[in-house]
């Protein structure tokens, strides 16, 4: 499973990218607001740091404006993936951008039917929102599993399932088990993936024993 980080904080992106485990970045208008930076300049900066796909979201709601915004965003850098909402206008935009070989991430997916539409429109990614489904008493992971089952029936289908709205490390594990191609994770949760009490305990034992040898590697 690929790992994207869900943030517009350039410092966090650089720090996580330096770990060597980052495959891409997703942003949205809410994350851009938190960054307090110029949107297009921010996307350009992120694309220079991360060679993988960087999702940049349109803000228009009507096809013509949405498409023009998508074209403009795609010109910022070669690794920009245009993010559009799962609406009729968004799907129409996805189809037209995809025909121009521009990668599209169809976001705000909450059903298998919606995921089918995204795939039909040639989306590079479809983003089911796990946490928001859980919030209304549904099981977001079940949606990942169901989309995976449907997509696997069609060998010519290339849309990747990008698990989004991830709220816990358990969500990450479950998304991987359900067959998500990508998980986009807030920096805090990515850090929590390292945590296990036995790792910390084992490291302490090893380091304490090493001190007793009175040796140095460097």
Cα–chain center distance at 39: 18
**Does a structural domain hold residue 36?**
yes
Three-state secondary structure readout of 126-172: EEEEHHHHHHCCCCHHHHHHHHHHHHCCCCCCCCEEEEECCCCHHHH
Q: Which two tokens stand for residue 42?
A: 């921010």
- 166 within some domain: yes
Residue with tokens 């059903």: 111
83 counts as catalytic: yes
- The answer to whether position 179 is within a domain reads yes
- Is 218 a domain residue? no
Tokens read off for 133 = 């489904």
Q: Give tens-digit pLDDT for 145-176.
A: 999 999 999 999 999 999 999 999 999 999 99
For residue 205 the two structure tokens come to 């034992």
Beta strand spans in the chain (E): 2-6, 24-26, 54-57, 80-85, 104-109, 125-128, 160-163, 182-185
pLDDT of residue 95: 98
How much is the pLDDT for 103? 98
**What tens digit of pLDDT does each residue of 115-133 get?**
999 999 999 999 999 999 9
> What is the Cα–Cα distance from 107 to 103, expressed in whole angstroms?
13
Q: Cα(143)–Cα(125) distance, rounded to whole angstroms?
A: 15
Mean pLDDT of 88-115: 98
Please report which confidence band the pLDDT of residue 72 belongs to, taking 50, 70 and 90 as the band edges: very high
In the DSSP assignment, the letter for residue 54 is E
Q: Which element (helix H / strand E) includes 19?
A: none
Domain assignment present for residue 68? The answer is: yes
Full domain range(s) for residue 189: 2-213
Q: Structurally, how many domains does the chain consist of?
A: 1
Say which CATH number the domain at 153 has. Answer: 3.20.20.70
What rounded mean pLDDT belongs to the chain?
Answer: 97
Is residue 121, in this structure, part of any structural domain at all?
Answer: yes
Angle at CA 130, nearest 5°, toward 121 and 152?
45
Is 204 part of any domain? yes
CA–CA dist 55, 117 (Å, integer):
19
**Rounded to whole angstroms, how far apart are CA atoms 7 and 4?**
9
Span 20-62, pLDDT tens digits: 999 999 999 999 998 999 999 999 999 999 999 999 999 999 9
Cα–Cα distance for residue pair 27/109, rounded to 1 Å: 16
Catalytic residue among 37, 44, 75, 83: 83
- Residue 189 in any domain: the answer is yes
Q: Binning pLDDT at 50, 70 and 90, where does residue 107 land?
A: very high
Mean pLDDT for the stretch of residues 71-80: 98
CB burial class (10 A; 0-12, 13-18, 19+) of residue 196? exposed
């Amino acid at each position: 499973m690929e790992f994207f980080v869900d943030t517009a904080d350039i410092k966090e992106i650089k720090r996580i990218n330096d770990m060597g485990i980052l495959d891409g970045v997703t942003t949205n208008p809410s994350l851009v607001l938190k960054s307090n930076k110029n949107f297009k300049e921010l996307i350009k900066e992120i694309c220079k740091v991360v060679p993988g796909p960087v999702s940049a979201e349109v803000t228009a709601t009507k096809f013509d404006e949405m498409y023009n915004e998508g074209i403009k965003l795609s010109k910022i850098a070669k690794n920009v993936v245009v993010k559009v909402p799962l609406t009729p206008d968004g799907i129409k935009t996805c189809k037209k951008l995809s025909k121009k070989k521009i990668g599209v991430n169809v976001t705000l997916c909450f059903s298998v039917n919606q995921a089918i539409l995204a795939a039909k429109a040639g989306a590079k990614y479809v983003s089911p929102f796990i946490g928001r489904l859980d919030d209304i008493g549904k099981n977001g992971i079940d949606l990942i599993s169901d989309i995976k089952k449907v997509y696997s029936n069609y060998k010519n289908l290339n849309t990747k399932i990008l698990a989004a709205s991830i709220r816990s490390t358990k969500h990450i594990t479950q998304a991987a088990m359900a067959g998500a191609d990508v998980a986009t994770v807030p920096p805090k949760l990515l850090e929590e993936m390292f945590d296990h009490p036995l790792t910390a305990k084992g490291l302490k034992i090893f380091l304490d024993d090493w001190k007793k040898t009175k040796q140095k590697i460097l």
